[in-house]
Structure 1
Amino acid sequence: MASKYGSRPTGTDGSDFWHRESVAYRHKMSSINKARLKMDLVLQIVLCVLMTVRILPALVSLVGVGPVKQLRKWDLPAPRPWEYMWSVSIIAAVLGLRSIPKNEGFLLKQYMIGTVVFGLLPIIYGIVDQIDDLYAYLNEKRWNAQIFGYPAVIIWFMFLTAAIQLHGFGLYFSLQLLKSWKVNRTDKKLR
């Protein structure tokens, strides 16, 4: 590679970089955790859209509009209360996405509160609600409802497992971001 000032001095192999400037560790971690949180939030939104499609027949019949007969052909079991509550967590995910570009700590804290209230608490309620059905399925091979030919309890627990992992990772990444953004704010106040 050509150099503006000529060739590299003899006797050096390029490992003498310690005197050069580098990006601060907290900025690297902020960038990495922003990308991770963004991916996590996109997956949460996809999961919320899937849940909304799943409870759509009940929502349409509740409101009383639209082609209810076509939606009833899906043959889905009635939604559980925790499914309605968990669907509201999409608002928290949108707040989290909005906080990322400008390092807005207030919006990120709102995302964290919304994730705990509308994400984790309904999931815990869903696990408690479904544990008897899971026990009956595992021990007696019987189930109450089916979703697309599969036992609903298995699909619900697969969903609950994925959702609790997404929310847990999202909270972890947002805590790391708040730590790195807090350092940045104190640096600006000192200047």
Structure 2
Amino acid sequence: MASLGGAMVSGTDGTDFHYRQQVAVPHKTSILNKSRLKYCIFFHALLFFVMLAKLTPDILDRLDIFVMEIEELQIPQPIWWEYIWCLSILSSFLGLSAVRGNKIREIKKYMMLITIVGILPIVYCLLYYFPNVWEFLFLEIDNKVEGAEILLWKNYPYCILWYAFCVIGIQIHLFTIFFSWNLLKTWNARITSRKCQ
């Protein structure tokens, strides 16, 4: 090696490393966004299991299965948006398939499904519980929480628990859309560059 005072290859001074083969920028971008999208799908799955745990008493009631320990939790009855949001986990399979094969059409469908069955139900939840959250925050300032008609679960305001879920969920879904959009742009750019050649 030249830096160690050893023999040097004739015709080079050792600074030609800039011209060696490198991974193209679109490939790096694609790999990075694929990895990040997989993380988003993983966190989406974790959030799905949290929702499934919340829905378990209602599912068991519909199946006429009685489990005393679950009934003692007194979990409030679900609203329709919770079941619709649970369908968003099915879109993850479409997203993983699109990532595996660089499929533009499937990543577009995935983004559309996440928006419809992932983001819209969460937005509905935010709007549905907004009056309760507003009332809770307003009454908290006046220290009159005892007189409020806010649903509590295990001494926690139910609306605030849903807002915590929604904040996490909306972040995961927005990051999912963002990384999917980056992948879509990268894959489209690769296709147009191939057509130009």
TM range (shorter): 0.7 to 0.9
What amino acid sits opposite 2:166 in the alignment?
A: L
Deviation at 1:97, TM superposition (A): 1.8
Paired residues of 1:108 and 1:174 also in contact (CA < 8 A) = yes
Measure the CA separation in 2 of the matches of 1:7 and 1:112.
57
Aligned mates of 1:122, 1:76 — CA distance in 2: 20
Q: What TM-score does the superposition give when structure 1 sets the normalisation length?
A: 0.86
Match of 1:44 in 2: 44
User: What displacement does 1:123 show?
Assistant: 0.9
DSSP-derived class of the 2:22 partner: coil
The verdict on how the C-alpha distance between 1:143 and 1:174 changes in structure 2, with shifts beyond 3 A counting, is: farther
Give the deviation of 1:154 after TM superposition: 1.3
Superposed CA deviations along residues 20-73 of structure 1, whole A, max 9, x for unmatched, are 2211111100000000000001101110111011111112212x2323444212
Give the match for residue 159 of structure 1. Answer: 165
Equivalent residue number for residue 109 of structure 2 = 110
Distance 1:151 1:187, change over 3 A: same
Identity of aligned residues (%): 31
Structure 1 residue corresponding to 2:177, chosen from 168, 171, 175: 171
Instruction: Kindly name which structure, 1 or 2, has the bigger radius of gyration based on alpha carbons.
Output: 2
SS at match of 2:100: coil
Residue identity matched to 1:53: A
Tell me whether 154-163 or 106-115 shows the greater mean CA deviation: 106-115
Q: Hey, what's the Cα distance between the residues in 1 that align with 2:16 and 2:155?
A: 64
Aligned CA-pair RMSD: 2.4
Matched residue count: 185
Q: 1:170 to 1:143 in 2, by over 3 A?
A: farther
Structure 1: runs of 5 or more not aligned: none
1:113 & 1:185 partners in 2: Cα distance?
22
Check conservation: 1:137, 1:143, Cα contact below 8 A: no
Higher helix share: 2
Aligned residues of 2:85 and 2:117 also touching (Cα < 8 A):
yes
Name the CA distance, whole Å, in 2 between partners of 1:75 and 1:159.
19
Identify if the C-alpha distance between structure 1 residues 7 and 90 changes in structure 2 by more than 3 Å, giving closer, same or farther. farther
Aligned: 1:145 with 2:151: yes
CA distance in 2, matches of 1:109, 1:100: 11
Counterpart of 1:157, as a letter, is Y
SS at match of 2:19: coil
Match of 1:99 in 2: 98
CA–CA distance in structure 2, aligned partners of residues 43 and 8 of structure 1: 52
